[in-house]
Amino acid sequence: MLNIDLPRSERIWLMIGGASLVVFFAIILLMALVWGFHNPGQMKTIAPDAVRTTPPFDKPGLYQVGPNEYRAVMIAQMFMYQPNNVTVPAGSTVHFEVTSPDVVHGFEIPGTNVNLMVVPGHITEYTATFRNKMDRVIVCNEYCGSGHQVMLGRFVVQ
């Protein structure tokens, strides 16, 4: 082992750096083991050319899966959403499953926290609860081609 005499200021900064690393790893362990936080995983994929023949995207639509709980299976494609209109009662929880057979699209319901990126080959999932009545436009917020500006859908909470 080398016996190098470091100046005091360098020893202080080395101790601060080492302590920062220890604190960083302690926080990660705390989050994973105590609070149950984990990195997202198990990304679901789908062959883009088989979207229309692979369940559940072979029958896009809104399905009730429980009391006041719905599953919205949707396809974002040039330049439309399938289904184009989604209507749920107030207080509903909606589990969105969205994919694309062609290019990257956006899926945003303005005024809510629903803002998804829809990538071909991936199934984007998101759950949201809608407590108040609203009538919103679903917009594509990722440029997807020359007809991008007409890619709209409708989301209604009654």
Instruction: For 119-132, give the DSSP string.
Output: -TTB-EEEEEEE-S
Q: What is the pLDDT of residues 67-104, one digit of tens each?
A: 999 999 999 999 999 999 999 999 999 999 999 999 99
Ranges of the chain whose pLDDT falls below 70: 1-3, 38-41
Beta strand 105-108 with 61-66 is: unpaired
pLDDT recorded at residue 4: 73
Distance of alpha carbon 65 from alpha carbon 33, whole angstroms: 32
